[in-house]
Structure 1
Amino acid sequence: MKHRLMLATLALALASATALVAEPLRAQEVRLYGEQEAVDPQDVAAILGAPRKIKYRALRLLDEAPAAPQQMALATTGQADPGAHPSTAAATVAAAADGAPAAAQSTSALALPVQFAFNSADLLPAARRQLDALAQGIKLLPASRAVLIEGHTDAAGSQVYNEQLSLRRAQSVRRYLVAQYGIAPARLRAVGLGEYDPLPGRDPHAPQNRRVQFRGE
């Protein structure tokens, strides 16, 4: 009887774990703007000011000892230690910390088709209208809110070249926001992802992948 009760408890814990883990790890939507589309600063503030990624803590069954540190990887990888005992695997499931809701806001980032000179990080004048509206949206956020600037390319060209070009373009956007709008440099972090993260459902060579993406940190 006790054995059956433990198995039932384990099954319930694993089922709950799946519900808790799947939602935060699910791909979230990106708001992609067209070249001629106006950017609303209020929308920018709403997307970039959305709640940060959910933090996790480990759960354990009441009759189990605390899990070893190396068995806590599920919170970030979604997988338990393959050599762990089943009850330990259940003990390392992820749960939303501090009462945070499991469902995150669906739109986690916005992407602009920022125009640069060919094979260059030099901003073209046509890019400034959308970046100006973006800057106004960032200024609506609390001063403590940081923004990640991601440079992206399509899959044409070498991987190393694309990573370097995307980084230089993200840094160019960062310099523009700092110089033109006085946004504190410490609030803006630039990274280059190259061709690594194409838009969901798009061909990696699609021109829409040549974008600069922004998300709150």
Structure 2
Amino acid sequence: MRARFIFSALATTLIGTAPALAQDDLSVDQVLGAWQKQKQIFHEAQSSGLGQTRGLKLIAVEGVDAAETAPQQGVSVTASTDAPTSTDTTPMDPNKPLVAATATTTTTTAPLVFGQLDPELQVNLQIKFGFDSAALADDQKPRLDKICQAMKLSDVQLFRIVGHTDTAGTDTYNERLSVLRAKEVARYLVEDCNITASRLETLGLGERFPLNQDDPRADENRRVEFQALS
């Protein structure tokens, strides 16, 4: 059964983290190994009723709608000033305001429980986006090649793509931007790498979980994280 990790509120405390694994420094085999460990940890947490699991801290995240984590169903990220629609496939312009178009989902008020992995178990990738943009530039696409290769070789059924930002900008703005960027990475993996859409779900957490807690505006905090849920 696919792990969803969307439950009622869970009290827990965020602790400091050491530098996590940068995707650029990992081979495809190392990415696969990290994902296998992640999958086992998430399975143990699910089997124990979301009890404490070594290598994983479960954190209740308020204000993130559970529907945002739904597996990708024809998601498109567009540049437009119009209201979003589920069929809008307008090419993105990095210089225009961003909106996301998603399939209709059922919303819930239950907070999402995010599984924060220990730094040595995380798989992160720094992707450079334009200012106020979620458009994936051509020169950044090769940075996703290892992820694409690893996903094709992996038996993981469900990946979570998590967008993170630094603290520049408001909380609301950063969360919105992180959602759109996670969706854009998922779109690329589906459309350009031929990854099955149902294997991917996206989540934007804004500035909540900085990689470098000593410098919340550091470049490394602007990243995309890949989790192997099941």
Per the normalisation by structure 1, the TM-score is 0.60
d(CA) in 2 for partners of 1:75 and 1:209?
26
What is the alpha-carbon distance in structure 2 between the residues aligned to residue 126 and residue 49 of structure 1?
29
Q: 1:211 to 1:106 in 2, by over 3 A?
A: closer
Alignment RMSD:
3.0
Distance in 2 between the 1:139 and 1:112 partners?
18
One-letter identity of the residue aligned with 2:227? R
Instruction: Give the superposition deviation at 1:200.
Output: 4.8
Bigger proportion of residues as helix = 1
Of 192, 199, 203, the match for 1:191? 203
Q: Quote the Cα distance in structure 1 between the aligned partners of 2:206 and 2:193.
A: 27
Taking the aligned partners of 2:190 and 2:158, their CA distance within structure 1 comes to 13
Q: Which has the higher contact order (CA 8 A, sep 6+)?
A: 2
Is residue 2:150 matched to residue 1:150?
Answer: no
Looking at structure 2, the residues matched to 179 and 206 of structure 1 have their Cα atoms a distance apart, in angstroms, of 31
1:45 and 1:171 map into 2 onto residues whose CA distance is 22
1:152, 1:212 within 8 Å by CA — same for their partners in 2? yes
1:47 aligned to 34, 39, 46, which one? 34
Work out whether residues 35 and 227 of structure 2, in 8 Å CA contact, stay in contact via their aligned partners in 1.
yes
Is 1:136 paired with 2:149? yes
Are the counterparts in 1 of residues 17 and 118 from structure 2 also a CA contact under 8 Å? no
Native 8 Å contact 1:41 1:134 kept in 2: yes
* Distance in 2, Cα, partners of 1:52 & 1:156: 33
Opposite residue 52 of structure 1, the aligned amino acid is I
The runs of 5 or more residues in structure 1 that have no matched partner are: 1-24, 59-72, 79-103
SS at match of 2:192: helix
Q: After TM superposition, what 4+ stretches of structure 1 lie above 4 angstroms from structure 2?
A: 25-29, 73-78
- Segments of structure 2 that go 5 or more residues without pairing to the other structure are 1-14, 59-116
**Correspondence 1:30 to 2:20:** yes
Where does residue 112 of structure 2 map in the other structure? Answer: none
Do the aligned residues in 1 keep the contact of 2:21 with 2:120 (CA within 8 Å)? yes
Shift of 1:134: 0.9
TM-score of the aligned structures, taking structure 2 as reference length? 0.57
Match of 2:205, SS state, is: strand
Contact residue 123 and residue 226 of structure 2 kept, 8 A: yes
